[in-house]
Amino acid sequence: MAAAALPQQQQQQAEEEGKPPSPTTTTMMPHIVDDAWDYKGRPAVRSSSGGWLSAAMILVVELNERLTTLGVAVNLVPYLTGTMHLGSAASANAVTNFLGASFMLCLLGGFVADTYLGRYLTIAISTAVQAAGMAVLTASTAAPGLRPPPGLPATGAQLGVLYLGLYLTALGTGGLKSSVSGFGSDQFDDVSDPAERRRMERFFGWFFFLISLGSLLAVTVLVYVQDRLGRPWGYGACVAAIAAGLVVFLAGTARYRFKKLVGSPLAQIAAVTMAAWRNRALPMPKDPADLYDIDLAKAAGEDVKGKQKLPHTKQCRFLERAAIVSSSSAACTLTDVEEVKQVVRMLPVWATTIPFCTVYAQMTTFSVAQADVMDRRLLSTTSSFQIPAGSLTVFLVASILVSVPAYDRLLLPLARRLTANPRAGLSPLQRISVGLLLSALAMVTAALVERHRRDASSGAAPATSVFLLVPQFFLVGAGEAFAYVGQLDFFLRECPRGMKTMSTGLFLSTLALGCFLSTAIVTAVHAATTWLTDDLDRGRLDSFYWLLAAISAANLLAFVAVARGYVYNQDKQSLADDDDGGVVVHA
């Protein structure tokens, strides 16, 4: 095996020197995967590592994560209000804080995985932490001493155990989600094997499918078990599922392909920012060619493998001070600076997608509270079977499952046929704008439905059917289908090549901040008005929805303004710089 590694080292050296790989190299060692190792540190053998079997073992973990996280979130409000005796606003904030922490911790998980542990260990440890969190949550719902007596509020100790279980689960979720998609894609060689490249593209399709399948199982089977058999049974089933998923994941250790640690992109951003601040008093060279860049770094013997020299841009010129050569400190390369600039240019788009997630959060909080007081009988007014309030989220998931293939298989081919343009279709930013528009329409619909429900409850009319909530769930689900795909495509396409691992973190951080923004809005509205009362019939939830509709509409206008000024990376080369031959970018 040591002899087998020699051609691979020669090929890597040729790549570093900018030469094409040797035909002899690829012919002699076709069974060795470039830049991949097995669990013992040996070069990975193509025939006995990676591929669909390894990816499937990894996907099982993601299926169980989605089942657990969403299964807890969508049905937590009824438990907090009915059993723990919290107010509706406090219960809604507990859910959004839990979801926000789960997504925000993905940034921490990604940093740990890229810098210290690697994706494999991060997934294994995070899965174990998630199982421990769900075990604590199961105990908090099963032990009589950890629940308050009827009519009394929960004590601090009882809430403390509940929140310990929730945030241990969130910690495990954050670490797991940050690495699952990346480690799964590591099982395919998308550089030198066209067949494996096509399989990796299909992997992302299956990844999204299993996320949706886990969501569907969470809002149907798991919520039903929680409501009919009891939460200890529902949460206990999650513990068993996570443990089984961990066993399956560990069983594939001998087959996995591992990649070396490359360091966190967050460290690069911090290094560039700190170096620019440290050099703030130094004179800026008039010619950008005098700044430290990849060619000088290579001459100095630095490892710049994988870095592609980027053209100079005129924005965020302060950051270029990080590339000034100083005798007192090492300089960052100008390419490092330009990569950070690319991230900075993406931030306005990133910021204007956060309010969408605030709307999405309402589908697991106040919309579930609405369903809880409506007529949830399935077939007729005499039926004894009632749909669990948390299961209304199934319409959101169904909308996602319908919208994605409808666009890809119906609308997109039709647009290309009508326009005779094989590239016709929505750009990533256009997809996001459609998602933002649908979210604003969802809040308008929710406000009208809540007004009708409250008016009907004040009279002698029978309780309003819960199916009137379906349009708002469907609109938010369709909006997520457009916004999710658009955001993922945008961040993957526009993130610098050396920062691809951060694209998922940027996307998931919008979900986290959207949840935290929801918490802030709910807290402010609850303190300033009487809209959000424990008894929905005495409050004005419709006014709260109108407020969110107005915020969504204003955010949509801001997003359109930002998107119209954004220039995609692939279009930048056509924009000539007036002075130094670089690129003028309007973001």
The separation between CA 20 and the C-alpha centre of its own chain, rounded to angstroms, equals 36
Q: Taking the CA of residue 277 as centre, how many other CA atoms within 13 Å lie in the half-sphere pointing to its CB?
A: 6
The pLDDT, as a whole number, for residue 500 is: 63
Show the tokens assigned to 154: 């929960």
Q: How far apart are CA 227 and CA 187, in angstroms?
A: 40
Q: What share of the chain is helix, strand, coil (3-state, %, to 5)?
A: 70, 5, 25
Closest CA to 531 of 523, 549, 518, 543: 543
For 373-437, the DSSP string reads TSB-BSS-TT---B--GGGGGHHHHHHHHHHHHHIIIIIHHHHHHHHT-TT-S--HHHHHHHHHH
Q: How far apart are CA 423 and CA 410, in angstroms?
A: 15
Output phi, psi for 33, to 5 deg: -85, 125
- Which of helix, strand or coil describes residue 313? strand
Q: Where are the beta strands (DSSP E) in 9-111?
A: 32-37, 43-45
The pLDDT, as a whole number, for residue 19 is: 43
The pLDDT, as a whole number, for residue 364 is: 84
Show the tokens assigned to 21: 């790989």
Q: How far apart are CA 541 and CA 538, in angstroms?
A: 9
Q: How far apart are CA 435 and CA 483, in angstroms?
A: 5
- What is the four-CA torsion angle of 483, 104, 367, 549, rounded to 10 degrees? -50
R_g of the chain, CA atoms, integer Å = 26
Strand partners, 32: 45
Closest CA to 114 of 508, 492, 501: 501
The label of the residue with tokens 């931030």 reads 347
Q: pTM for this one?
A: 0.77
The label of the residue with tokens 């399989």 reads 199
Closest CA to 496 of 368, 345, 375, 374: 345
- Predicted confidence (pLDDT) per residue in 348-378, tens digit: 999 999 999 999 989 888 998 899 889 888 7
Decide if 559 contacts 294 (C-beta within 8 A).
no
The pLDDT, as a whole number, for residue 5 is: 35
The pLDDT, as a whole number, for residue 22 is: 44
The separation between CA 154 and the C-alpha centre of its own chain, rounded to angstroms, equals 33
The pLDDT, as a whole number, for residue 210 is: 79
The pLDDT, as a whole number, for residue 244 is: 94
What count of residues does the chain have?
Answer: 587
Q: Which residues have C-beta within 8 Å of that of residue 458, sequence separation ≥ 6?
A: 537
The pLDDT, as a whole number, for residue 384 is: 67
* Angle value at C-alpha 196, between 193 and 200, nearest 5 degrees: 135
Closest CA to 86 of 162, 139, 195, 171: 162
The separation between CA 151 and the C-alpha centre of its own chain, rounded to angstroms, equals 39
The pLDDT, as a whole number, for residue 143 is: 93
> Can you list the residues of the chain whose pLDDT is less than 70?
1-30, 191, 201, 205, 262, 300-301, 303-307, 327-330, 379-384, 459-462, 497-502, 572-587
- Predicted confidence (pLDDT) per residue in 486-533, tens digit: 887 888 778 776 566 667 777 888 988 999 999 999 999 999 999 999
- Predicted confidence (pLDDT) per residue in 62-116, tens digit: 899 989 998 898 889 889 998 999 998 999 999 999 999 998 998 888 888 888 8
Closest CA to 76 of 88, 97, 91, 66: 91
